Structure 1
Amino acid sequence: MKILLIEDEPDLGALIQTSLAHHQYVVDWIQDGKTGWEYLTDNRSTYSLAIIDWMLPKMSGIEICQRLRAEKYTLPILMLTARDRMEDKITGLDAGADDYLVKPFGMAELLARLRALQRRVPTFQPDRLQLGNLRLDYGNNAIVITNPAGNEQSVSLTAKEFQLLEYLMQHPDLTLTHDQIRNRVWAIDSESASNVVAAQIRLLRKKLAEFGCEEVIETVRGFGYRLNSVHK
């Protein structure tokens, strides 16, 4: 799952990004409102949630929320702010935020708020994602494979394997380009190699091949990859 974090405090932004990455979220961190707005509008299908600070340079978090909602963009938003008056909370929620977290806060509370948003917004993340004989198990960070006899085998995945397979399974039978996959599964500031997508696909295929699913992910030469809903 990919999250856009718009926070101008360097220490807090780095802490949030590191903590969320530890819990297998992919986080793009932007430090001003104008750039954050541009990332949101240019990558609407990329992010599952936005964490936005109220007071930002160039464009406030309130203005970002208002613009998103005016354009009927339903992306879940968690607003961060040092403002703790009831009137301020009402202003933030009325602007379009789905939840409101007052600074200072602990990372455990932030994670709990994200889980609460997940329960409240069904499209944020399902408990499981199924395609054919493959089922993603979010609770255990695994892929469950059902063989022809009906028996299930749970296979543990690394964070990147899970995020890659999730993205492919969310777009069955569609060819996704290298850039689309990289932009979704890796953060914008990651120092990943140019062949990181191909390398990760190879690792994931090798793991799936052990259970007879080596042809699930198809290479579309010169373009990208496609996950077939009807396994060959």
Structure 2
Amino acid sequence: MRILLVEDEPSISGFLKEGLEEEGFAVDVADNGRVGLELALDLVNEYDILLLDWMLPGVSGIEICRNVRKVNKRVPIIFLTAKDTVDDTVFGLETGANDYLKKPFAFEELLARIRVLMRNSTGEQSQFTFRDIAMDIDAHQVTKDGKEVILTQKEFGLLELLLRNKGKVCRRSRIMEKIWDIHFDKDTAVIDVFINGLRKKLDTDGKESIIQTIRGVGYRINDNE
């Protein structure tokens, strides 16, 4: 899943980016409001959630939120701000934000709010089963035939994307956008490396792989028994 973080304090943005990437998110960071607004408007349909500081150089988080809401009513937006009065909270929510987190905050709380908002905004399920494989997004756990399978963060995110789109082809460009950073070199074979890693951990000897390669296009979950 892909997040835009607009935060001008390097220590905060660096900490949040690292933590979110460890949880399997692809994170784009803007350190001022003008760049944040440009990214948000250019790629708003590509982001799964926006995290906006309120007080930003150039353009405020409030203005980013207002402009985004003119073109996209659904993408979840969370304000991260030191403003802590009731009036501030109400104003932020009335501007179009879905949630409001006052600094300082615990990373675990932000992560929980992100997951709730994303689940509520899309109606997406948090548990999947396919053949002998079960995936629990909230517990961040994958099992095969009842036994836990240890996946890297990227493997977990890749499997989640494929299972959410069961029966559909996930194009390589979409995989790069959703699982890796926007600045990642799209000409590399990194996707193939992680697909092979998933196959080694999830495929059953003697049976066709659960992940089907659509040559020149991408990958999809293989429904063939």
Q: TM-score range by the shorter chain?
A: 0.7 to 0.9
The alignment status of 1:80 with 2:84, answered yes or no, reads no
8 Å contact from structure 1 (residues 177, 223) kept in 2? yes
Contact 2:44/2:68 (<8 A) preserved: no
Bigger RCO (CA 8 Å, 6+ sep): 2
Structure 2: segments with no counterpart, 5+ residues: none
Which residue is equivalent to 1:68?
68
RMSD of aligned Cα (Å):
2.8
Normalised to the residue count of structure 2, the TM-score between the two structures is 0.83
Q: How many Å apart are 1:216 and its aligned residue? A: 2.0
2:210 aligns to what? 216
CA contact (8 A) 2:2 2:177 kept: no
Q: Which amino acid in 1 is paired with 2:149?
A: V
TM-score (norm 1): 0.81
Q: Which runs of 5 or more residues in structure 1 are unaligned?
A: 147-151
CA deviation digits over 1:54-94, x for unaligned, max 9?
Answer: 12233321122222323342111110122222222111110
Q: 1:110 to 1:188 in 2, by over 3 A?
A: same
Letter of the 1:105 counterpart:
F
Q: Percent identity?
A: 38
Q: From 170, 186, 193, give the equivalent of 2:164.
A: 170
> What does the per-residue CA deviation read over 1:82-130, in whole Å, with 9 as the maximum and x for residues that have no partner?
22222221111101111112223343443344355457x2637633134
- Whether the 8 Å contact between 1:141 and 1:156 is mirrored in structure 2 is no
Q: 1:214 to 1:158 in 2, by over 3 A?
A: farther
Q: Aligned partners of 1:214 and 1:34: how far apart in 2?
A: 49
The corresponding residue for 1:35 is 35
Choose 194-203 or 73-82, whichever is displaced more.
73-82
Partner of 1:187, secondary structure, is coil
CA deviation string 1:17-38 (max 9, x = no partner): 1222333333222223333334
Contact 1:48 1:75 in 2 (8 A): yes
Determine the structure 1 residue equivalent to 2:198. 204
Q: Which moved more, 1:110-119 or 1:96-105?
A: 110-119
Q: Distance in 1 between matches of 2:206 and 2:61?
A: 48
| Matched residues, number | 225
- Partner SS for 1:47: coil
Equivalent residue, structure 1, for 2:153:
159
Give, in whole Å, the separation in 2 of the partners of 1:11 and 1:74.
29
Which structure 2 residues correspond to residues 117-196 of structure 1 after superposition, within 5 A? 117=117, 121=120, 123=122, 126-131=125-130, 134-145=133-144, 152-189=146-183, 194-196=188-190
Report deviation, 1:43: 3.5
Task: Quote the offset at 1:193 in angstroms.
Answer: 7.9
Instruction: Indicate conservation of the 8 Å contact 1:32/1:59, yes or no.
Output: yes
Using the TM superposition, name which of 160-169 and 135-144 deviates more: 135-144
Secondary structure of the equivalent of 2:149? strand
Contact 1:21 1:27 in 2 (8 A): yes
Q: Secondary structure at the match of 2:122?
A: coil
- Structure-2 change in CA distance of 1:174 and 1:155 (3 Å): same
Asked if the contact 1:208–1:214 (Cα under 8 Å) also holds between the matched residues in 2, the reply is no
Give the corresponding residue for 2:24. 24
Amino acid at match of 2:140: N
Say if 2:49 and 2:118, in contact at 8 Å, map to a contact too.
no
